[in-house]
């Protein structure tokens, strides 16, 4: 997948970034970095095709299934953790029994084995976020966009999430991870820095060059 001269601005706002050009390959995990408010989540929305870029293009060759784990996890309050992961597997045509087995294995992989029967509303922030990751992976995306997956996790759990994302990439998925976390960034194979990649230095409005 190719990003060609991508730039974006919201109405009546300056450009967040411009001229972002990159080729994103399967088998790699890209860390999307930049300060808070620099446009990481916005760039993920452009990659997903949920938002049209102000300028430039996203060429999404070979990508039919896009998975996105949001910065703030949201699931169905009264549904169990297990059901959240079973659903995308049923959509793929697995039998209920095989879907449950696979879902349970994914939960264990994310350290949620004991939370399978708990309702979404009863999960902690970090548990809910890991559940969203497990659900996203269950859908076998070609492109997996993950927004701050480790922000609420302790270092050890974060390392486990990073290695699971690396495993997904090795299975052929393009993985893009927006993150502030140095450890998570270090676990990625490549870095896409919004500041160096595309933000045009913008003059303070009305100032004479301070
Ligand atoms: N729909 C919108 N309309 C107007 N402005 C928006 C919209 N969405 C985001 N913004 C603004 O664009 C800027 C970039 O937001 P974005 O969420 O992409 O940043 P981010 O790099 O993901 O930040 P963080 O690290 O805090 O998650 C912010 O100033 C935000 O307020
Ligand atoms: Mg964000």
The token duo for 149 is 């997956």
Give the position of tokens 């996890």. 73
Ligand 1 near 73 CB (within 6 A): no
In a domain, 156, yes or no: yes
Give the model's pLDDT for residue 204.
45
What's the domain range around 101?
A: 77-139
- 44 and 146 fall within a common domain: yes
When divided into structural domains, the chain yields a total of 2
Ligand 1 near 8 CB (within 6 A): no
Q: Which of 139, 166, 187 is the endpoint of a domain? A: 139
Which has the minimum average pLDDT: 29-33, 50-54, 130-134, 193-197? 193-197
Q: Which of 117, 139, 161 is the endpoint of a domain? A: 139
Ligand 1 near 16 CB (within 6 A): yes
In a domain, 88, yes or no: yes
Q: Which residue has the higher pLDDT, 76 or 203?
A: 76
Give the position of tokens 């974060």. 158
Atom of ligand 1 nearest to the CA of 34: 21
Ligand 1 near 10 CB (within 6 A): yes
pTM of the model: 0.88
CA distance 22 to 62: 16
């Amino acid at each position: 997948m190719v990003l060609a001269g991508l730039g974006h601005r919201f109405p009546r706002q300056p450009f967040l970034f411009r001229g972002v050009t990159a080729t994103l390959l399967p088998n790699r995990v890209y860390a999307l970095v930049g300060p808070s408010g620099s446009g990481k989540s916005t760039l993920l929305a452009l990659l997903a095709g949920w938002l049209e870029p102000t300028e430039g293009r996203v060429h999404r060759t070979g990508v039919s299934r896009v998975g996105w784990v949001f910065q703030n996890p949201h699931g169905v309050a009264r549904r169990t953790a297990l059901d959240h992961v079973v659903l995308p597997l049923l959509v793929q045509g697995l039998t209920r029994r095989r879907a449950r087995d696979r879902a349970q294995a994914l939960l264990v992989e994310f350290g949620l084995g004991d939370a399978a029967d708990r309702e979404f509303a009863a999960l902690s922030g970090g548990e809910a976020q890991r559940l969203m990751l497990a659900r996203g992976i269950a859908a076998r995306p070609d492109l997996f966009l993950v927004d701050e997956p480790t922000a609420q996790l302790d270092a050890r759990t974060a390392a486990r999430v990073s290695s699971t994302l690396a495993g997904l990439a090795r299975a052929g998925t393009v993985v893009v991870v927006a993150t502030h976390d140095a450890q998570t960034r270090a676990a990625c194979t490549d870095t896409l820095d919004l500041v160096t990649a595309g933000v045009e230095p913008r003059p303070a409005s009305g100032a004479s060059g301070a």
